[in-house]
């Protein structure tokens, strides 16, 4: 009989621990509104895309002095919009009543995609923070393509913040990921603390963390500005390959990500937000959600064969850069047919003829003329300007 007493004590302790944990969860639920699980997905819908929310002059810095922001967040339309996605309306901390949106974008040589991104998002974003690195992820020198072509983006300069990546003395990590993480985190650590006046972030401002070819829909950007979303929101995107003519078969692309500013020390770092790191697994799951159909991602959508081959040369998997895959005719044939260049059986693409679900700038006459390769890879050239 005496042998059973320790077992009973352990059981009692376990029960008490369970009750304490449940009490803690209950308290947390009272102080923090419940969010959907990371596995739950709600989607940007046709209704969202046709919304008529109260007008705000987002492009104008003078808008911060307008009472329109207070009226916007108090509107029934904003409440209905957020409720449709399981959120409450955000309550701005700024005295002006505004909530700013920062696009923390990592770009290097993708000039076309940067222009398409700026055109698509300009009316819905307050500041585009662009960090360019003088080194590749392998540590070799690279030209400053964006700085050297800065005038190309003149119409967007009033919202652009350019920063040349700074390295600490002796920075020479063995992993390419370290270079990428440094550049991604620099959009926050090396830029935001230096902004002044209206440009300086305040608690609750939206931080979008993305690669340049991950473009959120305008309706998604409205949701981010309007709603009290969780601190780790994945904006799952329609996943295209080579052009918007080929839709990847399978799950949506699990990027970009969004969070909100919580001060220099407490904000989720961009690399952790994108990679799912930082904090405990429970904390990450608790404050996570996924918004489906939130944007567009086009992988390997290059204008030139040279750009395609340069990307292959940067891969850490050496087999993907073998000469049989680098052959120009082989690449063109695969791109033209919407077939994986490396013959991977799990990478399948579905042809979408006459696709109109694309960033709007591509549907205009000038967009079709300048960026036609993003809409069609048909013909002998496979859309490349330097082939055959």
Domain coordinates in residue numbering, the chain: 65-89, 90-299, 305-374
The Cα–Cα gap between 30 and 24 comes to 10
The topology under which CATH files domain 90-299 is Spore Coat Polysaccharide Biosynthesis Protein SpsA; Chain A (3.90.550)
Residue 209, classed as helix, strand or coil, is strand
Strand, helix or coil at 248? Answer: strand
- Confidence (pLDDT) at 35: 37
Q: Quickly list H helices, the chain.
A: 4-31, 46-49, 68-73, 76-83, 111-121, 145-148, 176-186, 218-226, 270-275, 281-286, 305-314, 323-326, 328-337, 365-370
pLDDT at 167: 96
Residue 261 and residue 202 in contact, taking contact as beta carbons nearer than 8 Å: yes
Residues 6+ apart with CB under 8 A from 177: 137
For the record, the structure tokens of 151 come out as 């005038």
* Residue 62 pLDDT: 52
| Residues 73 and 66 sit within 8 Å (Cβ to Cβ) | no
User: How much is the pLDDT for 284?
Assistant: 63
Neighbours of 263 (CB within 10 A): 9
What is the Rg, in whole angstroms, of the alpha carbon atoms belonging to the chain?
24
- What token pair was written down for 114? 């940067």
Low-confidence stretches of the chain (pLDDT beneath 70): 1-41, 57-66, 278-286, 316
Predicted confidence at residue 52, as pLDDT, reads 78
Torsion 244-250-255-260 (CA) sign? positive
CA atoms within 13 A on the CB side of 193: 9
Strand, helix or coil at 123?
helix
The reported pLDDT for the residue numbered 60 is 52
Q: CA-to-CA distance for 77 and 53, rounded, in angstroms? A: 6
């Amino acid at each position: 009989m005496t042998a059973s007493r320790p077992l009973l004590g352990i059981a009692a302790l376990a029960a008490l621990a369970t009750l304490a944990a449940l009490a803690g969860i209950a308290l947390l639920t009272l102080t923090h509104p419940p969010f959907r699980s990371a596995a739950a997905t709600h989607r940007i819908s046709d209704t969202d895309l046709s919304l008529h929310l109260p007008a705000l002059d987002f492009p104008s810095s003078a808008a911060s002095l307008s009472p329109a922001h207070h009226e916007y967040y108090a509107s029934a339309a904003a409440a209905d919009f957020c409720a449709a996605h399981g959120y409450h309306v955000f309550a701005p901390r700024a005295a002006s009543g505004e909530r700013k949106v920062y696009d923390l974008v990592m770009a290097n040589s993708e000039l076309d995609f940067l222009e398409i991104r700026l055109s698509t998002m300009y009316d819905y974003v307050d500041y585009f923070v662009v960090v360019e690195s003088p080194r590749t992820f392998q540590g070799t020198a690279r030209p400053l393509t964006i700085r050297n072509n800065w005038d190309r983006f003149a119409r967007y300069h009033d919202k652009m913040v350019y920063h040349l990546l700074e390295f600490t003395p002796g920075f020479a990590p063995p992993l390419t990921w370290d270079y990428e993480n440094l550049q991604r985190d620099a959009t926050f650590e090396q830029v935001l603390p230096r902004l002044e006046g209206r440009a300086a972030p305040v608690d609750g401002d939206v931080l979008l963390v993305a690669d340049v070819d991950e473009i959120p829909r305008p309706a998604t950007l409205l949701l981010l500005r309007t709603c009290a979303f969780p601190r780790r929101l994945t904006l799952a995107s329609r996943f295209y390959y080579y052009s918007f003519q080929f839709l990847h078969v399978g799950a949506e692309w699990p990027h970009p990500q969004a969070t909100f500013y919580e001060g220099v020390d407490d904000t989720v770092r961009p690399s952790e937000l994108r990679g799912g790191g930082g904090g405990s697994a429970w904390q990450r799951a608790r404050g996570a959600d996924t918004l489906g159909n939130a944007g567009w991602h086009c992988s390997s959508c290059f204008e030139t064969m040279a750009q395609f081959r340069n990307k292959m040369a940067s891969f850490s998997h050496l087999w993907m850069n073998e000469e049989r895959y680098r052959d120009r005719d082989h690449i063109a044939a695969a791109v033209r047919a919407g077939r994986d260049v490396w013959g991977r059986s799990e990478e399948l693409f579905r042809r979408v003829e006459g696709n109109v679900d694309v960033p709007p700038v591509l549907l205009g006459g000038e967009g079709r003329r300048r960026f036609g390769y993003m809409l069609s890879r048909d013909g002998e050239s496979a859309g490349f300007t330097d082939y055959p």
